[in-house]
Structure 1
Amino acid sequence: MQNQDNFTLQTKNLSIGYFNKKGNHTVAKDLNFSLNKGELVGLVGSNGIGKSTLLRSLCKVQKILSGDIFVNNKNLKSFTFESLAETLSVVLTETPASKNITVGELVALGRQPYTNWLGTLTEDDKQHILQALEATEMSSFKNRKCYELSDGQLQRALIARALAQDTPIIILDEPTTHLDLYHRASILKLLKNLSKTTDKTILFSTHEIDLAIQLCDQMLIMTPEESYFGDPCQLIESGHFSKLFPKNLIDFDGDVGRFKIIN
């Protein structure tokens, strides 16, 4: 039996979606999962299934329809945005508002929840920034402008900003978008290493299902009918990956843990 104190992020009977004049539009319902410290967790599903909606809901950016979200055994509803920023950091698919800042300045933004109203960095803040740059192998890029970075380098800088924020939970929305295979694998391997070396819970959405199966401790599969949570081997044995897409074009081969094209 898992230790309740080890859970950093939990959902109970969670329903997510949108409020509109015609009534609520439910994107997904009955979401129940518990994430642990030091785990890398992959969120997968087809386009439009609700992955980004779920991540926004977990970050309190989007209101939930019903159910509960708990962060460190405390209901998300009771968090202010200021207190949540010390517990949960987010890396979205959007690029920084200004790419004219340096990598060091971008990573320093992660310390905003802790600085005074002048934004003055203490020695402790500077140490967190340096550690984040080192952990993501971005120290040599500290003085480089963000517009000079490749997509993979920029993604590492954004992850460094989240690390500098020093929260027990990091949530990333499709961190490997626009990257080639080598850099997709590199980013996911980085996240895996960070989850183990920092004991943080790292949740990310991805279309790199084959890579996620190899690296993740737990995975959440979202389908139109139901969602499934567990370790990748259990999900393979249960046949849940085969439910991700219509079988007229691709299917999941459980023997090798990969999708294959149907001829």
Structure 2
Amino acid sequence: MLLQINQTNIGYDKTLISNVNTHLNLGEVCLLIGNNGVGKTTLIKSILHQNSLLKGEILINNKNVTKLSVKEIAENVAVVFSKSIIPQNYTVEDLISLGKYIYYPFYFELREKDKQEVKKIIEELNLNEYKDTLLKNLSDGNLQKAFIGRALTQNSPIIILDEPTTHLDEKNKLIILKTLRKLAKEQNKLILFSSHDWRLAKEFADKMWYVKDTQLYSGIVEDVLIQHDELTNAALFQINDKFVAPQISAPRVHKEMLYSLLQKNFQKDLSHLNFDFQNRFWMISYNNSEQQCESFEEIVKFIKKLH
């Protein structure tokens, strides 16, 4: 176990997450998830020993983080926070090269081997055309990728990222997450990243840390998801108090789409309806009758006519 958290209370003046007991190994990708304000960033800062624990201990490679120097923590953990100070006169290549600073004296010029590593990471992150661009001239998405690149060049066994995909479009989000998973599996890195999107866990993470009601629930992604309906429930966003959902049997995406559609359009009780998605068609059962609809538009028209 490379990272261990034992009997730990995490917070500042008050406890945000209590009695945390969990661990992660090399080669694992873990998603840290929870609502705003539950303590995700505080947990990350506690691992880095930037925030004191209220109780318990955190170990990196069997060493208490309180006993590690700043340099030793940097050698073990590379981190990217969602809000980072931007060196205005640095280019993308300059920033990514900075990940090597812990291995050099104060003033340094990269060895050829390190230059090639920086070049490779720039290519993997699709930043070639921006390598000589000043950071202040980058879009939010490319800036975020540059900071992630700096963490990758640090070559630490643990990489922690605080909401790394917040400013990224779908294409760049996939590039980042695929790169992180590839690092974990091919270079035996431990990757911990936070996000608000549980769907990322299903595709990219091995483990999940879910913070809710001052507790941290940890385990294999699928085990945690199946134990917490609110993470996968199509009714996660309840915007219509008068709406009562029908029974919906369909693949996840179709179920979520139908739920959103009905909630937006009908302020009424639809619990007497039963929707079943079969062979590209929606079969709607009601009062011992059945109606077939091919599109969501047809569904809306049918229910308006029905009611």
Tell me which interval the TM-score lies in, with the shorter structure as reference length: 0.7 to 0.9
Equivalent of 2:222 in 229, 233, 238: 233
**2:151 alignment partner in structure 1:** 162
Instruction: Specify the alignment match of 1:21 in structure 2.
Output: none
Which residue matches 2:288? none
1:97 aligns to 2:90 (yes or no): no
Give yes or no for contact 2:38–2:214 (8 Å, CA) kept in 1. no
CA distance change for structure 1 residues 80 and 249 in 2, over 3 Å: closer, same or farther? same
- Deviation of 1:152 after TM superposition, in Å, equals 2.2
Output one character per residue of 1:149-204: Cα deviation in whole Å (capped at 9) or x when no partner: 22222222111101111100000000111333443333223322222222111101
Question: Which deviates more from structure 2 when the two are superposed, residues 148-157 or residues 66-75?
Answer: 148-157
Q: Is 2:74 the partner of 1:85?
A: yes
User: 1:104 is aligned with what amino acid?
Assistant: E
Cα pair distance change 1:128/1:247, threshold 3 Å: closer
Paired residue secondary structure (2:2): strand
Counterparts in 2 of 1:181 and 1:129: CA distance versus 1, 3 Å = closer
Matches within 5 A, 1:53-202: 53-202=42-191
Deviates more, 1:33-42 or 1:151-160: 151-160
Pick from 36, 40, 45 the counterpart of residue 29 of structure 2.
40
TM-score (norm 1): 0.84
AA partner of residue 9 (structure 1): L
Q: Are 2:224 and 1:242 equivalent residues in the alignment?
A: no
Superposition RMSD in Å: 2.7
Aligned to 2:244: none
- SS of 1:85's partner is helix
Alpha-carbon contact 1:169-1:202 (below 8 Å) kept: yes
Aligned residue pairs total: 249
Whether the 8 Å contact between 1:221 and 1:244 is mirrored in structure 2 is no
Counterparts in 2 of 1:256 and 1:200: CA distance versus 1, 3 Å:
farther
Identity of aligned residues (%): 36
Runs of 4+ in 1 over 6 A off after TM superposition: 243-248
The structural deviation recorded for 1:210 is 1.3
**Using the alignment, how far apart are the partners of 2:218 and 2:251 within structure 1?**
20
Paired residues of 2:144 and 2:167 also in contact (CA < 8 A) = no
Show the counterpart of 2:304: none
One-letter code aligned to 2:3: L
* Residue pairs, 1:247-262, within 5 angstroms: 249=238, 260=256
The residue aligned with 1:15 is: 9
Q: 1:153 to 1:171 in 2, by over 3 A?
A: same
Structure 2 residue matching 1:48: 3-state secondary structure? coil
- In 1, Cα distance between the equivalents of 2:141 and 2:173? 8
8 Å contact 1:16–1:29 — kept in the other structure? yes
Q: Give yes or no for contact 1:221–1:229 (8 Å, CA) kept in 2.
A: yes
CA contact (8 A) 2:8 2:55 kept: yes
The change in CA–CA distance for 1:38 and 1:241 in structure 2 (over 3 A counts) is farther
Q: Which amino acid letter does the alignment assign opposite residue 8 of structure 1?
A: L
Aligned partners of 2:95 and 2:146 also within 8 Å: yes
Deviations 1:199-242 (A, max 9, x none): 111101101211222211111000015221111111233x2252
Q: Which runs of 5+ in 2 are unaligned?
A: 240-247, 264-307
